[in-house]
């Protein structure tokens, strides 16, 4: 590897554009207003995102995309995270990556050009037991008369009612496999919205019982490790963004709120942990851009990728959760109220922390890679 972190002019421009865009389209007043909307984001805003080309970033040019890497998607996702934007971009990108690695030619030809131009896709990978082992689903697919008959329940399916298609993981003949479900194959009643800690999300339970699809819906390959890595990286990027604005929120309050005739930021008991929030942010951001660099480099080994991305997820989760937690505390009584924005960030932090492995789990996965 040449440099631990590659950051191109192109990434820099994307970062500037995205920070600007997300700041404009997702001020915290709108974030709050959207908490009660049916969908995460208005169609018009999603269309603008598509028009900016962001849904096409990681899709190869042969499929109508821009042919760039996750390194170019990360600055966009970081910016969205910073402004607590919830969009289908992360999951659509994960689906695109999945199809590229594991899809049939027909699946790629059908879906990748659509995804590039803004079709929404998502995945059902997790189940009710909350397991992080993506390649050990308990939902099943059984071949019956030329059809795949699905059973079981998926959960935490993001933006499911907005999605044009959903890829789910199932066991077929004892093997973990991926199945592509077109929107038309999913009965409306199969989706039930879940109550989740981050209220900017639209999360659904997907009941597979009674759904059957043609054999061509099966993805010929699997790529669970890569799916996990893509999602760890993008969630970490989102966390870095949220972490940065949590720090800003804390600093603003520490500089304006007075107690005992002094700005509370002058007290070392608040000042020093706020510096820890900053150092945590610097660390997370470094890991995320390093993780993107490693992921996109052709000569990275699978161990290189696993180490870089698990570290990124561990550091980002721990750092953002700490920042959110302290943000509540440092706002005092106001921090205990719904009105204080600190809760928005803490809830976002906790959601991201527990998706695809928190820091403790990541360390346990890293141990054999680093120690043995």
Partner 1 sequence: MNVNEQALEAFRQEVSTWLEENNPGDPGFLLPESFMEVGTDAQFEYLRAWQRKVYDAGYLGMSWPKEYGGGGKPQVFQDIVTQEMARQRVPFMTNTIGLNWAGPLILERGTEEAKQKYIRGILNADDIWCQGFSEPDHGSDLGSAQVKAVRDGDEYVINGSKIWTSLGSYAKYMILLARTDTGGPNKYAGLSFFLAPMHVEGITPQPIKKLTSEFGFCQTFFHDARIPANCMMGQEGEGWQVAMATLMFERGNVGGQAGGISMMDLNVNDVLELARRSTRNGRPVLEDPLIRDQMVQFLIEAKSNSLMGAKGRIPALNAERPGAVAMSGKLRSTELKRRFCQFALSLQGANGGRFIAPAAVDGGKWQRIYFNSFSATIGGGTTQVQYNIMGERVLGLPKS
123, β-bridge pairs: 167
Q: Which stretch binds partner 1 (CB under 8 A): 56-64, 83-91, 162-170, 275-283?
A: 275-283
**Binding residue for partner 1 (CB under 8 A) from 63, 156, 289, 356?**
289
Closest to partner 1 by CB, 150 vs 365, is 365
262, β-bridge pairs: 259
Our finding on whether 315 is near partner 1 (CB under 8 A) is yes
What is the rounded CA–CA span in Å between residue 115 and residue 351? Answer: 25
176, β-bridge pairs: 171
**Binding residue for partner 1 (CB under 8 A) from 51, 262, 302, 332?**
262
Min dist. Cβ of residue 321 to partner 1 (A): 15
Q: Which of 209, 143, 133, 129 is nearest to 172 (CA)?
A: 143
Using DSSP bridges, classify how beta strands 153-158 and 165-172 pair: parallel, antiparallel or unpaired.
unpaired
Our finding on whether 329 is near partner 1 (CB under 8 A) is no
Closest to partner 1 by CB, 230 vs 270, is 270
**Binding residue for partner 1 (CB under 8 A) from 287, 305, 326, 331?**
287
Closest to partner 1 by CB, 172 vs 283, is 283
Using DSSP bridges, classify how beta strands 165-172 and 175-182 pair: parallel, antiparallel or unpaired.
antiparallel
Our finding on whether 215 is near partner 1 (CB under 8 A) is no
Q: Which of 57, 56, 54 is nearest to 25 (CA)?
A: 54
> Residue 279 is inside which H or E element, if any?
helix 268-296
Closest to partner 1 by CB, 21 vs 111, is 21
Could you tell me the two tokens for 219? 């993805």
Closest to partner 1 by CB, 84 vs 307, is 307
Q: Which of 120, 134, 214 is nearest to 170 (CA)?
A: 134
Our finding on whether 331 is near partner 1 (CB under 8 A) is no
- Decide if 237 contacts 78 (C-beta within 8 A): yes
Q: Which of 325, 252, 329 is nearest to 28 (CA)?
A: 252
**Binding residue for partner 1 (CB under 8 A) from 114, 285, 326, 331?**
285
Burial class (CB in 10 A: 0-12, 13-18, 19+), 62: exposed
Our finding on whether 7 is near partner 1 (CB under 8 A) is yes
Question: Binding-site residue total for partner 1 (CB under 8 A)?
Answer: 41
Min dist. Cβ of residue 105 to partner 1 (A): 39
Site for partner 1 in 232-261 (CB under 8 A): 244, 251, 254-255
What is the rounded CA–CA span in Å between residue 211 and residue 201? Answer: 25
Min dist. Cβ of residue 326 to partner 1 (A): 13
Our finding on whether 210 is near partner 1 (CB under 8 A) is no
Q: Which of 117, 94, 38, 39 is nearest to 235 (CA)?
A: 94
Min dist. Cβ of residue 273 to partner 1 (A): 9
Our finding on whether 306 is near partner 1 (CB under 8 A) is no
What does the angle CA 256 – CA 257 – CA 260 come to, to the nearest 5 degrees? Answer: 130
- Decide if 168 contacts 181 (C-beta within 8 A): yes
Site for partner 1 in 340-369 (CB under 8 A): 360, 363-364, 366-367
What is the rounded CA–CA span in Å between residue 126 and residue 103? Answer: 20
Min dist. Cβ of residue 228 to partner 1 (A): 18
Residues that bind partner 1 in the complex, under the rule CB under 8 A: 3-5, 7, 11-12, 15, 244, 251, 254-255, 262-263, 265-268, 271-272, 274-275, 278-279, 282-283, 285-287, 289-290, 311, 314-315, 360, 363-364, 366-367, 370-372
């Amino acid at each position: 590897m040449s440099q631990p972190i590659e950051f191109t002019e192109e990434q820099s421009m994307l970062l500037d554009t995205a920070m600007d865009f997300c700041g404009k389209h997702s001020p915290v007043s709108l974030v709050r207003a959207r908490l009660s909307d049916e969908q995460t984001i208005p169609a018009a805003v999603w269309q603008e995102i598509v028009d900016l080309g962001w849904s096409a970033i990681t899709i190869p040019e042969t499929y109508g995309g821009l042919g760039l890497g996750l390194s170019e998607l990360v600055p966009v996702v970081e910016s969205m995270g910073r402004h607590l934007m919830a969009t289908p971009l992360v999951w659509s990108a994960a689906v695109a990556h999945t199809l590229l690695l594991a899809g049939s030619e027909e699946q790629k030809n059908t879906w990748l050009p659509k995804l590039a131009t803004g079709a929404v896709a998502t995945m059902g990978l997790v189940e009710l037991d909350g397991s992080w082992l993506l390649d050990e689903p308990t939902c099943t697919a059984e071949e019956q008369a030329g059809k795949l008959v699905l059973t079981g329940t998926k959960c935490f399916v993001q933006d499911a009612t907005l999605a044009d298609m959903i890829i789910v993981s199932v066991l077929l003949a004892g093997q973990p496999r991926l199945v592509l479900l077109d929107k038309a194959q999913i009965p409306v009643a199969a989706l039930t919205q879940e109550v989740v800690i981050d209220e900017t999300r639209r999360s659904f339970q997907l009941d597979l019982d009674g759904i059957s699809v043609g054999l061509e819906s099966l993805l010929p390959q699997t790529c669970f490790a890569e799916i996990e890595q893509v999602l760890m990286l993008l969630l970490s990027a989102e966390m870095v963004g949220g972490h940065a604005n949590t720090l800003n929120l804390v600093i603003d309050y520490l500089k304006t709120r007075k107690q005992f005739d002094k700005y509370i930021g002058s007290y070392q008991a608040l000042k020093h942990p706020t510096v820890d929030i900053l150092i945590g942010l610097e660390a997370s951001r470094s890991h995320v851009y390093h993780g993107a660099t490693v992921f996109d480099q052709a000569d990275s080994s699978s161990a290189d990728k696993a180490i870089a991305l698990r570290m990124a997820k561990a550091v980002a989760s721990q750092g953002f959760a700490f920042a959110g937690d302290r943000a509540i505390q440092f706002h005092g009584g106001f921090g205990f109220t719904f009105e204080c924005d600190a809760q928005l960030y803490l809830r976002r932090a906790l959601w991201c922390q527990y998706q695809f492995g928190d820091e403790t789990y990541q360390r346990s996965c890293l141990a054999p890679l680093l120690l043995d």
